């Protein structure tokens, strides 16, 4: 399953403390890549601390470089450092 491969790659490469991956392929029925390939990633990672948003996105893209060529058509990323996420809901 694509989501599990994406999850494993991100866990291996970035060691996130929080990770949510949503397959949004169902939202793109009728599009050229409606068979999947549209994903949303919410990731909280200590490696993002002190890094600008573009650097965080590059880190995610680098971790998923193989999947980006073969399995992922579109990727929406929300990348946060631990200090940017509230524990209070």
Per 3-state DSSP, what percentage of the chain is helix, strand, and coil (rounded to 5)? Answer: 45, 20, 35
Q: What is the pLDDT of residue 44?
A: 98
Total structural domains within the chain: 1
43, 18 Cβ separation under 8 angstroms: yes
Q: Check pLDDT > 60 for residue 24.
A: yes
Q: What is the pTM of this model?
A: 0.84
Q: Label residue 47 by pLDDT band (50, 70, 90).
A: very high
Look at residue 88 and tell me whether its pLDDT is greater than 70: no
Is residue 21 one of the residues assigned to a domain? Answer: yes
Which CATH number fits the domain that encloses residue 19?
3.30.300.90
The reply to whether 52 falls in a domain is yes
Judge whether 66 lies within some domain.
yes
């Amino acid at each position: 399953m694509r989501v599990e491969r994406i999850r494993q790659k991100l866990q291996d490469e970035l060691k996130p403390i929080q990770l949510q991956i949503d397959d949004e392929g169902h939202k793109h029925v009728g599009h050229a890549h409606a068979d999947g390939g549209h994903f949303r990633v919410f990731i909280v990672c200590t490696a993002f601390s002190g890094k600008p948003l573009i650097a965080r996105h590059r880190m995610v893209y680098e971790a998923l470089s193989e999947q980006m060529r073969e399995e992922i058509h579109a990727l929406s990323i929300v990348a946060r450092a631990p200090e940017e996420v509230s524990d209070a809901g």
